[in-house]
DNA sequence: TCTGGGGTCCTAGGACCC
DNA sequence: TCTGGGGTCCTAGGACCC
């Protein structure tokens, strides 16, 4: 639940299996689950790395289908999962919370909801009981701040939020929570986004494994992040017109002088060419850091993203800058021979740069690298 | 000593336009 | 001395999500 490992008592830590974050692994398993779901129903929105919305409209025996889907996902991927059904996205998310809680915390909701909870089939009176048993902070779209503010106004449960005066919610919290309120009442305000919208920005940032006093190393890190960001950009067939950088000293070090500089600049044109972005980042990073300070985190973000076809072209020149075909070749080489097989000198080229992440508990890439497959001896 | 890495939307206020 | 009424765009900050 996001608790730093050093806060966990040693006695408990010894009973745990500790893993560093491994987004390649999570992303691959997520894609496999998506494939299973998309094969089963026509409209699926991949909402996050571990959540999907499915349109169950027009499906005759949806209870049977979702129980089968739940079992199939677990059987084919090993990932335990739960399913919630509701007439709006907010109610479906709430149903999912019910399904999970009923399974994990006996007594929180009726046992019948464990694993799969169908709020859409409940009578209004029973739905009221479920909403009354759900703390307002568990509602999708209600975070820490609003949860506190709502409770200060005497609104503690999802039911109380649903039934609160509409004008008051609109005035005190804005249109976002007013929508959530209507969704709780069964009025759909959010559609199923089964076509993923284009990104508006792409960010690559890392906390360093240690404090970095060597500012050349921080600049190398920034250029490396720029190159990685461009790879992501090209994967999505987008170009960027502006780039920003930031760096940060160790915010947890109370003694240290803090410095959180950030800067942005326009690129020489809309581009996804790593060389142009890297050069701009290198420029931006000159006289960027404060002498003598150590930095703990840095990042690069790309802005003003667009599809090349949507750009207003120059009258006498191309719409985009950079060399598209060269980048295609670079990507192809790195795909074939592994990331980092070819790249820019300004990224440093050390096998273990001293700004690297701490990943001493990294799990193997079981599903994406032949070299990481377990070996069976006979 | 150790503390993640990404995203989105909404609103208010200021600059600027006619 | 009097000094409108309508817009847009941009930015910063704050909220939310996983």
Nearest nucleotide, C1' to the C-alpha of A148? C15
Which residues, 6 or more positions from A300, have their beta carbon under 8 angstroms from its beta carbon? Answer: A203, A204, A205, A222, A225, A226, A229, A243, A244, A245, A281
pLDDT computed for residue A352 by the predictor:
65
pLDDT computed for residue A351 by the predictor:
61
pLDDT of A1 higher than 70:
no
pLDDT of A317 higher than 80:
no
pLDDT of A41 higher than 90:
yes
pTM higher than the cut 0.85 = yes
- Asked if A259 and A299 touch (Cβ cutoff 8 Å), the reply is no
Which residues, 6 or more positions from A17, have their beta carbon under 8 angstroms from its beta carbon? Answer: none
Helices A166-173 and A175-184: angle between axes, nearest 10 degrees: 140
- Residue lying closest to nucleotide C16, CA to C1': A141
Instruction: List bases, strand B, within 7 Å of protein CB.
Output: 1-11
Rounded CA–C1' distance between A303 and B8, in angstroms: 14
Rounded CA–C1' distance between A187 and B5, in angstroms: 34
Nearest nucleotide, C1' to the C-alpha of A50? C18
- Residue lying closest to nucleotide B9, CA to C1': A176
Using CA atoms, how far apart are residues A235 and A302, in angstroms rounded to an integer? 14
Instruction: List bases, strand C, within 7 Å of protein CB.
Output: 14-18
pLDDT of A318 higher than 90:
no
Q: Quick: pLDDT tens for A123-156.
A: 999 999 999 999 999 999 999 999 999 999 999 9
- Residue lying closest to nucleotide C17, CA to C1': A141
Nearest nucleotide, C1' to the C-alpha of A174? B10
Nearest nucleotide, C1' to the C-alpha of A201? B7
pLDDT computed for residue A53 by the predictor:
96
Q: Quick: pLDDT tens for A179-202.
A: 999 999 999 999 999 888 899 999
Mean pLDDT of A54-73: 94
Q: Quick: pLDDT tens for A242-288.
A: 999 999 999 888 888 888 888 888 898 899 999 999 999 999 999 99
Count of residues making up chain A: 378
Nearest nucleotide, C1' to the C-alpha of A303? B7
Nearest nucleotide, C1' to the C-alpha of A93? C17
Q: How many CB atoms lie within 10 A of CB A141?
A: 17
Token output for A3: 């608790």
Average pLDDT, chain A: 91
* Architecture, CATH, for domain A202-347: 2-Layer Sandwich (3.30)
User: What is the full DSSP assignment across A174-218?
Assistant: -HHHHHHHHHHTT---S----SPPPPS-EEEEEEEEEEE--HHHH
Phi and psi angles of residue A207, each rounded to the nearest 5 degrees, phi first: -85, 135
- Asked if A340 and A353 touch (Cβ cutoff 8 Å), the reply is no
Nearest nucleotide, C1' to the C-alpha of A2? B4
Q: Measure CA A18 to chain center.
A: 21
Rounded CA–C1' distance between A193 and B4, in angstroms: 27
pLDDT computed for residue A17 by the predictor:
86
Rounded CA–C1' distance between A174 and C4, in angstroms: 30
Rounded CA–C1' distance between A262 and C11, in angstroms: 15
Q: Quick: pLDDT tens for A198-239.
A: 999 999 999 998 899 999 999 999 999 999 999 999 999 999
Rounded CA–C1' distance between A55 and C2, in angstroms: 64
Rounded CA–C1' distance between A145 and C7, in angstroms: 34
Contacts 24+ apart (CB under 8 A), A41-44: A41/A65, A43/A192, A43/A194, A44/A194
Q: Quick: pLDDT tens for A334-369.
A: 999 888 889 998 888 666 676 777 788 888 888 888
Rounded CA–C1' distance between A99 and C11, in angstroms: 42
Mean pLDDT of A280-300: 92
Query: Given pLDDT bands bounded at 50, 70 and 90, which one contains residue A45?
Result: very high
Rounded CA–C1' distance between A299 and C13, in angstroms: 20
Rounded CA–C1' distance between A264 and B14, in angstroms: 21
Nearest nucleotide, C1' to the C-alpha of A97? C18
Rounded CA–C1' distance between A261 and C14, in angstroms: 20
The structure tokens 């949860």 sit at A147
Q: How many CB atoms lie within 10 A of CB A359?
A: 12
Domain ranges of chain A: 202-347
- Residue lying closest to nucleotide C14, CA to C1': A145
pLDDT of A290 higher than 70:
yes
């Amino acid at each position: 639940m996001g608790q730093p490992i050093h806060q966990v008592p040693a006695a408990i830590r010894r009973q745990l299996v500790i893993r560093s974050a491994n987004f390649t692994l999570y992303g691959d398993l997520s894609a496999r689950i998506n494939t299973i779901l998309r094969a089963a129903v026509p409209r699926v929105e991949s909402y996050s790395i571990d959540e999907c919305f499915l349109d169950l409209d027009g499906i005759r025996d949806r209870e049977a289908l979702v129980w089968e889907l739940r079992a199939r996902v677990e059987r084919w991927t090993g990932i335990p999962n739960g399913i919630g059904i509701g007439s709006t996205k907010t109610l479906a998310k709430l149903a999912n919370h019910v399904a999970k809680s009923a399974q994990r915390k006996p007594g929180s909701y009726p046992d019948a909801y464990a694993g799969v909870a169908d709020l859409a089939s409940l009578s209004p009176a029973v739905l009221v009981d479920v909403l009354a048993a759900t703390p307002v902070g568990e509602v999708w779209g209600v975070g820490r701040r609003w949860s506190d503010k709502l409770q200060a106004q005497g609104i503690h449960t999802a039911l109380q939020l649903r039934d609160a005066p509409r004008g008051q919610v609109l005035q005190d919290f804005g249109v976002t929570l007013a929508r959530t309120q209507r969704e709780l009442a069964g009025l759909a305000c959010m559609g199923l986004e089964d076509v993923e919208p284009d990104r508006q920005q792409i960010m690559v940032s890392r906390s360093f494994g240690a404090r970095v006093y060597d500012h050349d190393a921080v600049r190398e890190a920034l250029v490396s992040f720029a190159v990685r960001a461009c790879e992501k950009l090209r994967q999505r067939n987008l170009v960027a017109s502006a780039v920003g950088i930031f760096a940060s000293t160790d915010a947890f070090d109370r003694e240290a002088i803090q410095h959180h500089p950030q800067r942005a600049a326009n690129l020489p044109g809309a581009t996804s060419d790593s060389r142009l972005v890297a050069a701009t980042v290198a420029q931006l990073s000159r006289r960027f850091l404060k002498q003598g300070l150590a930095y703990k985190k840095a990042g690069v973000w790309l802005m003003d993203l667009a599809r090349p076809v949507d750009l207003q072209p120059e009258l006498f020149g191309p719409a985009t800058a950079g060399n598209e075909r060269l980048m295609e070749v670079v990507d192809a080489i790195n795909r074939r021979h592994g990331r980092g097989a070819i790249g820019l000198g300004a990224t440093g080229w050390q096998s273990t740069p001293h700004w690297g992440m701490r990943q001493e508990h990294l799990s193997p890439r079981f599903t994406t690298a032949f070299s990481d497959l377990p070996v069976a001896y006979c």
